[in-house]
Chains A and B, each alone.
Chain A
Amino acid sequence: MAILSEHEREHMVETLGELEGNVKLTFFTQDFECESCRHSHELLKELADLSDKMSLQVYDFKEDKQAVEKYRIDKIPALAVEGEKDYGIRYFGTPAGYEFTALLEDILDVSRGTVELSQETMEELQGIDRLIHIQVFVTHTCPYCPRAVRTAHKLAQASDWIQADMVSAVEFPHLANKYDVFAVPKVIINEGIEFEGALPERHFVEKVLMALSSRT
């Protein structure tokens, strides 16, 4: 049975009608798929079928070592959302529930190749000179989480130095435990900086810059 209802499909076809450039969804799973891998895979297949400008590339986490390394994948299900290049936008865990909205917005952004951020943020991103890894822990029932995910993904799209991951706390409980995730969204930047809540762009960027200066 299809995951997306007819009504949802109609709405998405309309939304995806705004796509400008091509979008590639690069998905990592394995031969014997875990339940959330299977669910994510099915959802992405249905989504990719809704527009000629979208394609789905599937890799096996165990077999396709080269791709796993290239995309820096360390757990599955994993998804990279690519436009004319790989911006470092990642989803670890099913991009479902409230996060599906974030995925659709990411798709539109990478298709356009531009992202809406303030001039001040764009200038500050220019100063980044080393890799920044942002992890945003979410639950699928959290209405505030997509905003944090989107801010992180926008920063990743705007800077080649940033990789930003959505991480489903329920699907990766060992990571939720490791980072003491008891409230979502919880954001971890380069292991050293952490905060809870969907901060406005300006404050989010301040935290990124703190991670940069703390040299963690």
Chain B
Amino acid sequence: MTTRRVALAGVGLALGLALAGASHAACSSDPCLAASPVFDCDRDGLTDAEECLGLTTAGGAALAFPSCRLQPSAQPACLDPRVSDLFVKFEKAASSAYTDTAAIGTALSDAEIFGPITQASGGLAMRIHVLPATVVLPASPRNAITPRTAALTVREVRGSPGSCPVTAALGAVNGVTSVGGAAIAQVFTQRILDHVNCVFGTANASSPAAQAEKRNMLKHTTAHETTHLNRLAPESVDRFGGHHYKTGSGCVMDQSSTYSTKGGAVRFSIPLAYCGPDQAAVLAGETALGAIQCEDPSNVLDQDGFTNVCLPATP
């Protein structure tokens, strides 16, 4: 048997092409023809009817999300039944590192921060609806957008500058594996800045290269922790610390990021692309752990009050 490694480049290209403009494989016909209230074509917890007609959340703040079919101009805030929607309550710190131009050079917009998730090529092609930290969401079910869908909580923990080296975690998700509810993704942004500063050294900490790595690490860590709440990297692998790929695989969900200072040259490896089964799982609308975004009523640990099961994609 002959194996030609040269073909791998072509394979990678094909993967990238296939994802551009991807929609759910489960949706073989236009879900808005019937706009069913009992099917969820893209398995994101919103029914086809809700996404085809638009919805306004009940309780707390009445958030309106129009249908992309009815208001195409509302992109990207609108809902499309063939594109997974992700609602993120983004709690930035009062003095946020994401917009600290002194530290990172250029401020990061929300779209840029979540870009690794939303991007069509190399990403998950999901649509993220960023909700401000001040939005009031229902307490029960906790953070509900609909009876089956919760908004994720992504929290920036800035803290005070620390000393070198930084050995603590840069991001964390408490161990509740539900999508939203009680689970919180934390991004320790000051540690990220400190870490890059430490690696580059005081003299070069404000260099464009260092600032670029800080921006990358902020984006990477935010995407990584947010994606844990989406049940991606669906297999728990002990030797990779859980739902991760091996460090160095070049995936957002790698166990950790790395750097090298060999020979005095700083080289960071901070993946901003998804790989492995993650993209396929989003296309299929679910992972081995369940639907991408739909809440899991059988998870009693999350204590979030969701009781409705996920809906099937099609009849």
- A and B: real partners? no
Interface, chain B (partner A; CB < 8 A):
none
Interface, chain A (partner B; CB < 8 A):
none
